[in-house]
């Protein structure tokens, strides 16, 4: 994920349970790095790196308070995640996968052929 689009950066940031746990913690209110480190069996520099990833993804923001650098949640990029996933809803809600498998089995039994472009075998978005 070298230099990637915003959505890729967001997904990459979310692909780590520690980072998701940090976000969950921050829904309760801002927290210092020490506080964020406490729940994990991991050094503070490790958490600091995770925070940097979350920050670069725009998921948290840093403020200053004496020698503390409390982080707070910045959920905006998660809207893009929700917007991206939404169009797929119909595919998991209608048990699309099992239906598709069923249609596929019917089809390959009766009519072997190579997968032509845009074949679509009985199911499309509209």
Partner DNA sequence: GTTGTATTTAACTAATAGGTTATTTAACCT
Partner DNA sequence: AGGTTAAATAACCTATTAGTTAAATACAAC
- Chain positions contacting DNA, by CB under 7 A: 1-3, 12, 15-16, 18, 32-35, 41-46, 48-53, 62, 64, 66-70, 112, 114-115
Pseudo-torsion of CA 76, 43, 3, 86, nearest 10°? -40
Q: How far is CA 59 from the centre of its chain?
A: 12
Binding at 49: pick from DNA, its own copies, none (beta carbon under 5-8 Å per type): DNA
- Three state DSSP letters for 40-53: CCCCHHHHHHHHHH
Sheet strands (E) in the chain: 60-62, 71-73
From residue 108, how far is each of 4, 30, 111 by CA, in Å?
Answer: 39, 56, 5
**Residue placing its CB nearer to its own copies in the complex, 46 or 96:** 96
Q: Does 81 bind its own copies (CB under 8 A)?
A: yes
Binding site for its own copies (CB under 8 A): 1, 4-5, 7-9, 11-12, 14-17, 20, 23, 27-32, 35, 61, 63, 65-66, 68, 70, 72-76, 78-79, 81-82, 84-89, 91-92, 96-97, 100-101, 104, 108, 112-115, 117-121, 123-125
């Amino acid at each position: 994920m070298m230099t990637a689009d915003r959505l890729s950066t967001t997904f990459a940031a979310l692909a780590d349970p520690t980072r998701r746990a940090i976000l969950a913690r921050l829904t309760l209110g801002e927290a210092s790095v020490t506080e964020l480190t406490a729940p994990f069996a991991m050094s503070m520099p490790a958490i600091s790196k995770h925070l940097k990833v979350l920050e670069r993804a725009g998921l948290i923001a840093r403020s200053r308070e004496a020698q503390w650098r409390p982080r707070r949640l910045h959920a905006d990029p998660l809207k893009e995640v929700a917007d991206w996933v939404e169009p797929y809803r119909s595919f998991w809600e209608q048990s699309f996968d099992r239906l598709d498998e069923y249609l596929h089995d019917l089809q390959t039994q009766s009519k072997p052929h190579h997968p032509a472009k845009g074949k679509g075998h009985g199911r499309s978005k509209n």
